[in-house]
Amino acid sequence: MHKQQTIPRPLLIGHGSRHPATADAGQRFAQQVSRLLGQDVYLGWLDYCAPPISDLLAAMKAQEIGALAIQPLMLTPASHVSDDIPNALQSYSGQVHIAPPLGGPELLHTLLYDYAAAALNDFARAPTIFLIARDSHGPAFKESATALAALLEQSLTCPVAVGYVGATDQGWADCLDALPPGPVLALPTLLFAGKLWDQIAARLSDRPAQTAIMPPLTEDPRLAQTVAQRIRDLQASAARDC
């Protein structure tokens, strides 16, 4: 039997969450990318959400899908990208083409800056910008977040503080509580809605001054455009290598 097609099929791989909003948001995002590409886009999850990536890869193998163009739906090259996804792909015997994580500094700065610059118009006085980043247990990740905060502070001319998710120090909740009284604009670097985004929003609502929180990054259409272009680039590269 011949393989169904040689063009790598688009596959998005997310971490997953027990929160039902995550799976729904992931499906909407995959549909956005599909419309931009004019192709079917598969979506699998490492944990909690359906379909599990292991089941999806098994189905692809049974359908003799011989090549994949993969975009990890993660921001940093942490263990999910370096370990979990390669381990999951060991069961797949076809060709694999993988794009890097989505958290490049230029893209993140553009998305965060554009949202914050517009949101500042709604504040009666200048807020503290509160950047919330994931701590992926390595100094490079905190250095990257610190550099991003400095860039935002320079371009927005507002003070920027940083808190971390999953950190043993500088945890986001403690850092938020330690901010001076006054308005706060929170910029969580989260791809999808879920439990953590809800927790941040709830904590902000406890503050007496004006607050606002940036929606998950996948709600900005430019992220879907970026993913679609990355998939096109992977498919073009695979075609050249044939």
pLDDT digits (tens, 9 = 90+) for 164-181: 998 668 899 999 999 999
Tokens linked to 194: 């879920």
Average pLDDT in the 5-10 region? 86
Is the confidence at residue 134, as pLDDT, over 80?
yes
Q: What is the per-residue pLDDT for 166? A: 83
- pLDDT at 6 (0 to 100): 80
pLDDT of residue 241: 84
Tokens at 166, concatenated: 């999953």
What pLDDT shows up at residue 3?
43
Give the integer Cα–Cα distance in Å for 18 and 21.
Answer: 9
Report, as an integer, the average pLDDT of 125-146. 86
Task: Convert the pLDDT of each residue in 54-97 to its tens digit.
Answer: 999 999 999 999 999 999 999 988 888 989 999 999 999 999 99
Please answer whether residues 58 and 90 qualify as being in contact, where contact means their C-beta atoms are separated by less than 8 angstroms: no
In percent, how much of the chain has pLDDT > 70? 95
- pLDDT at residue 4, as a whole number: 44
> For the residues of the chain, what is the DSSP string, one character each?
---S-SSPEEEEEE---SSHHHHHHHHHHHHHHHHHHTS--EEEESSSSSSBHHHHHHHHHHTT--EEEEEEE-SS-SHIIIIIHHHHHTT--SEEEEPPPS--HHHHHHHHHHHHHHHGGG-SSPPEEEEEEE--SSHHHHHHHHHHHHHHHHHH-S-EEEEEES-SSSBHHHHHHHSPSS-EEEEE--SS-SHHHHHHHHHHHTSSS-EEEPPPGGGSHHHHHHHHHHHHHHHHHHHHH-
Q: What is the pLDDT of residues 35-63, one digit of tens each?
A: 999 999 999 999 999 999 999 999 999 99
Q: What local confidence, expressed as pLDDT, does residue 217 receive?
A: 97
pLDDT, residue 1, reads 40
All domains in the chain, ordered by first residue? 9-102+220-241 (3.40.50.1400), 105-218 (3.40.50.1400)
pLDDT of residue 136: 67
Specify the pLDDT at position 137.
61
pLDDT for 105 equals 86
